[in-house]
Amino acid sequence: MIEGVELAQRRCVRGAKKLDDETLAALRAMLPAWRVEGGELRRSFRFADFRHAIFFVNAVAAIAEREDHHPDVTIRYRDVELALATHDAGGLTENDFVLAAKIDDAG
Amino acid sequence: MIEGVELAQRRCVRGAKKLDDETLAALRAMLPAWRVEGGELRRSFRFADFRHAIFFVNAVAAIAEREDHHPDVTIRYRDVELALATHDAGGLTENDFVLAAKIDDAG
């Protein structure tokens, strides 16, 4: 059980296990801007324009490379949608929430 | 009727009109890597890894900004999908094919 941790300060780790319902609920409560949809952790961002959207995507990419955990990214002009999941674990793991928290810090 | 032009050397212009069927067919024949799907001009790219995918997206973004014409971009790790359309014209215009040709040069 993870509670009260500073999610954004954790690191993504190899072999993370799919979360149990209780831990999932606790982590979701820590990241209210994100939604769980189709087994993915998703968030939509809107920026002033395309250039700002691309700037953000590059910040996300740098985090993703550092954590070796890569969200799906959709860019529609100034709107960016991110979708996180841990395919190896067959669902959401703590890694997804750690990555989301780091992205929130960058957004 | 546009034929035999070097599409990639043209520029996207304001107020481009939706293409008639004959011109559309001629332009499609010039860009065989692209497909028309759901009223959009689409192409999928696969790269060595995420880093290379992001590098390509930045090249596309620079072209898009220069032409003031912005494709929808979806990144899934090393796969990038682009979708071009001219929403103001209610369909595909020469701008979409000019942008696609410029992206082919960068890809």
B54 touches chain A (CB under 8 A): yes
User: Is the pLDDT score of B2 beyond 80?
Assistant: no
Q: How confident is the model at residue A3 (pLDDT cuts 50, 70, 90)?
A: very low
Range of the domain at B74: 15-106
A85 within some domain: yes
A95 within some domain: yes
What single string gives the DSSP state of each residue in B23-85? HHHHHHHH-TT-EEETTEEEEEEE-SSHHHHHHHHHHHHHHHHHHT---EEEEETTEEEEEE-
Q: Across the interface, do B73 and A77 touch by the CB < 8 Å criterion? A: no
B77 touches chain A (CB under 8 A): yes
A102 within some domain: yes
B5 within some domain: no
A4 within some domain: no
In chain A, how many domains are there? 1
The pLDDT tens digits of the residues spanning A31-83 come to 999 999 999 999 999 999 999 999 999 999 999 999 999 999 999 999 999 99
Q: Is the complex ipTM more than 0.90?
A: yes
DSSP-derived secondary structure letter, A91: B
- Give the CATH number of the domain where residue A88 resides: 3.30.1360.20
A9 within some domain: no
Distance CA A19, CA A102 (A): 19
A36 within some domain: yes
User: Whole-model pTM?
Assistant: 0.94
| Cβ atoms of residues B16 and B6 within 8 Å | no
B43 within some domain: yes
Average pLDDT over residues B9-24: 95
Which chain A residue has the Cα nearest residue B79? Answer: A72
Q: Which residues of B touch A76 (CB under 8 A)?
A: 72
